[in-house]
Amino acid sequence: MKLNLPPTVAIARRVYFSVGRHAPLQSWPPRLRLPHGYDCVLTAYYEGAVAAHNGMVANISDIKPALALAVAPLDCAMLTGADTVLPNPPSGENIVEFLWQRLPAHIEGGRLDRLVLELSPRLRVEKTPTSMRITRKYEFAAAHRLCSPELTDDENLALYGKCANLAGHGHNYGLEVTVEGAPGAAGFIMAPDRLDEIVEAEVFTRFDHKHLNEDCPEFENLIPTSENFARVIFAVLREKLTGDGHRLAKIGLHETQKNYFEVEG
C-alpha cells in the first residue's frame, strides 16, 4: 500500500531528577526564601526526518545518556550558594536554559526541538529554539446553565441536553495559563507569585463559586459554554499579562477530566 507519509517525526525521552534551592535574590517571592526542593521531570523532544534505512529519526536510546549527562550536575544538588553549577538564579527558566545548552543540538537526524521541565504538577517551563514559556495550573468552581435566549426551554433541552437544566449545574474547572517571554534578571519570565495574583484578581474574583449566568456581567449577552468561557478568561488575562517582556500565550480550560478547551493568542 502506498501512503503519503509525513517526512518528520518528533521523538521524546524523559528523565527524572531532583534539585534544591532557596531564594538567591531579595526580588524573589518571600515564600521561596527557605530551602525547598523539586522532583523534576524533563522531557526532551528531537524532531527530524525518518531515515529510510532504519525507520528512525535517531535511536531513542542514544538520547538517554545525553539526558543523564545533562542533568547530572543538577541532580540532588543545591542550586543556590557558592558551589552552585548554575551561572544564573535557579529559576525553572534558567534550569531549562542550562539544560538546553548542555544537550546536543542534534542527535543523528533529530534536532533539539523542545524541552519541557515540570517542576511540580502545577508549574511547567517549556523552551523551543524561538520561545520560552511558563505554565501554571489552577482549579476553581463555577455553575452555569447552557441556554440560548432565542430558544424555548424545550428547544434548549434538545440542543444542550442536561447542560440546559433550569437550575443550572456546576464544574470544577482546571485552568492552565501559559505566559511567553524572556527571563529577566531574577530569572523569571514572570514571577509565579505575580501570575498567581493576577489570576486570583482577574479569574477567581470574577468567577470562582459564581453562577456564570446569574452573577457575571461578562455573560450577560454570551452563552456560557466552555468555548465562550475560555475566550472570556483569555481576554481578561490578556489585559493584565501584556508587557514587561512577556505576554499571555495560551489558556487551557478543563471543563471536566474529558473536555478541554484552548485559546492561543
Q: Which residues bind Zn ion (CB under 5 A)?
A: 163
216 catalytic residue (yes or no): no
- Per the residue annotation, which of 126, 180, 202, 255 is the catalytic one? 255
Measured from the CB atom, the residue of 99 and 147 that comes closer to Zn ion is 147
- Altogether, the residues listed in the chain come to a count of 265
Q: One-letter amino acid identity for 138?
A: Y
Least distance in Å: CB of 156 to Zn ion? 13
Q: Which is nearer to Zn ion, 124 or 171 (CB)?
A: 171
Concatenated DSSP letters of 60-93? HHHHHHHHHHHHTTTTTEE-SSTT-S-SS---HH
Query: For residue 135, what is its C-alpha cell?
Result: 505554565
Cβ 162 to Zn ion shortest distance, Å: 9
Residue 179 and residue 136: Cα distance in Å, rounded? 9
Helix segments in 152-220, DSSP class H: 153-160, 192-199, 205-207, 212-215
With respect to Zn ion, which residue has the nearer C-beta, 25 or 158?
Answer: 158
**163 in catalytic set:** yes
- Is residue 40 flagged as an active site residue? no
Among the listed residues 22, 47, 163, 176, the single catalytic one is 163
User: Closest CB to Zn ion among 60 and 163?
Assistant: 163
3-state secondary structure of 94: helix
Rounded CA-CA distance 163/145 in Å is 6
C-alpha cell belonging to residue 125: 517551563
Residue of minimal Cβ distance to Zn ion: 163
Question: What is the smallest separation between the CB atom of 224 and Zn ion, expressed in angstroms?
Answer: 8
At 139, which amino acid appears? E
Give me the least distance between CB of 168 and Zn ion, in Å please: 8
Determine the Cα–Cα distance for residues 189 and 244; give it in Å rounded to an integer.
Answer: 9
User: How distant, in Å, are the alpha carbons of 69, 153, 229 from that of 99?
Assistant: 10, 57, 37
| Catalytic residue selected from 169, 209, 214, 262 | 209
H or E element at residue 111 = strand 110-120
- Min separation Cβ 217 and Zn ion, Å: 20
**Choice between 36 and 169, CB closer to Zn ion:** 169
Residues acting as catalytic residues:
163, 209, 255
